[in-house]
Amino acid sequence: MGNSERAHTADDKSPWMQPGFIAAAAIVTVLVVLGVIIALTGGSGGDAPLPAAQPPAPGRTTASRPCDLEDVGQDVPTTPPRARWELVGKMIAPTAPTSYGPGQVANGFRTCFQRSPTGALYAAVSFWATLTAKTDAETYRRLAVDSPARARAIAAARGQRSPQLDGLQVAGFAFSSYARDRAVVRLAFRVEDGGLVSADTPLVWKDGDWRYEVPLDQGRGSVAQVPDLGGFIAWKGA
């Protein structure tokens, strides 16, 4: 994912209302109206066939288990991690509760991810998937690190959810940067017409977990259309 971000004069607006993302959502809407259905393509996310995605059991929680997933290494993945997937809201997200995370799920919020590059990748996808299930404000409160930008994002969200995310599914990933306490994961999403958009997901390690860091400019420039998966590692659950 690209790391360059530009200042925005209206930085208290939700990132989902930025021009790049709205344009992508508009393309999806027009093509759906026209009845265009394009088969999705991309990597399968591993050598073994993946099980069919299933929604998590209502009220499932492992909150009694401490967030102490074993750190198995700091190598940034260069191949798609073999994963199981589950439906979170309207997006398919990877799950590995005893290794990469989420180690805890309570009230629909997935937390406790491994302190590793793959753990950060799982946390990044989980953050976006949660936005399809919860309001933006709820998601920022529970999954984002405290900051003035987070406070502005919560105020701007006004209890709304981002419908522009509906219909998006993970198609690939790349790491813009990674360190023990900070990562920027760039995710590619397939839209309903077969096109692609990408989004930067900055994370910080705080209070024993990976947490989303709301950009100072509310994400301006981090969401954009991309022509293909060039530069990404293909990875998907649907």
Residue position matching structure tokens 């996808």: 125
**Rounded to whole angstroms, how far apart are CA atoms 150 and 49?**
39
Instruction: Name the residue among 51, 56, 185 with its Cα closest to residue 110.
Output: 56
**Rounded to whole angstroms, how far apart are CA atoms 166 and 133?**
10
Q: Is the pTM value of this prediction over 0.75?
A: no
What pLDDT does 66 receive? 53
State pLDDT tens for residues 69-97.
Answer: 777 778 999 999 989 999 999 999 999 99
Burial class (CB in 10 A: 0-12, 13-18, 19+), 17: middle
State pLDDT tens for residues 206-220.
Answer: 999 999 999 887 644
**Domains of the chain, residue spans:** 15-234
State pLDDT tens for residues 38-51.
Answer: 333 334 344 344 44
What pLDDT does 4 receive? 40
